[in-house]
Amino acid sequence: MLKLDLSRDAGDFIAGLPGQQFKQVVSAMLSLLKNPQPQDPRAARPLSGMDGYYRVESGEHRIVFRIEGELLRVPLIGKRNDAEAYRRLVRKV
């Protein structure tokens, strides 16, 4: 099983979520730790223009991640269809 490396921004975002949404996002991340490349091609999609980064949907949110060796790095969690979240990711990378 992979180890989780959560960025400060992603951790702060999760901490501010209401209970049910918090559970959904954390559950999705735990599933990714066990199986970062689900068989369903719709589950984890590569981000265009961001080599090695993937996104997975969890309710109203998207989890952006990258696998580096034994680490599952999560630099960003944001609302779906939030263009600003992706602009922040591009600035980070």
Model pTM?
Answer: 0.86
Spatial separation of the C-alpha atoms in residues 92 and 84, rounded to whole Å: 12
Number of domains the chain contains: 1
Helices 19-34 and 8-15, interaxial angle, to 10°? 140
Tell the residue number behind the tokens 């949110």, with chain if given. Answer: 61
Q: From first to last of the 93 residues of the chain, give the pLDDT tens digit.
A: 899 999 999 999 999 999 999 999 999 999 899 888 766 666 788 888 888 899 898 888 999 999 999 999 999 898 877 677 777 777 777
CATH value at residue 37: 3.30.2310.20
Centre a 10 Å sphere on the Cβ of residue 88 and count the other Cβ atoms it contains: 16
* Structural domain range at position 63: 3-92
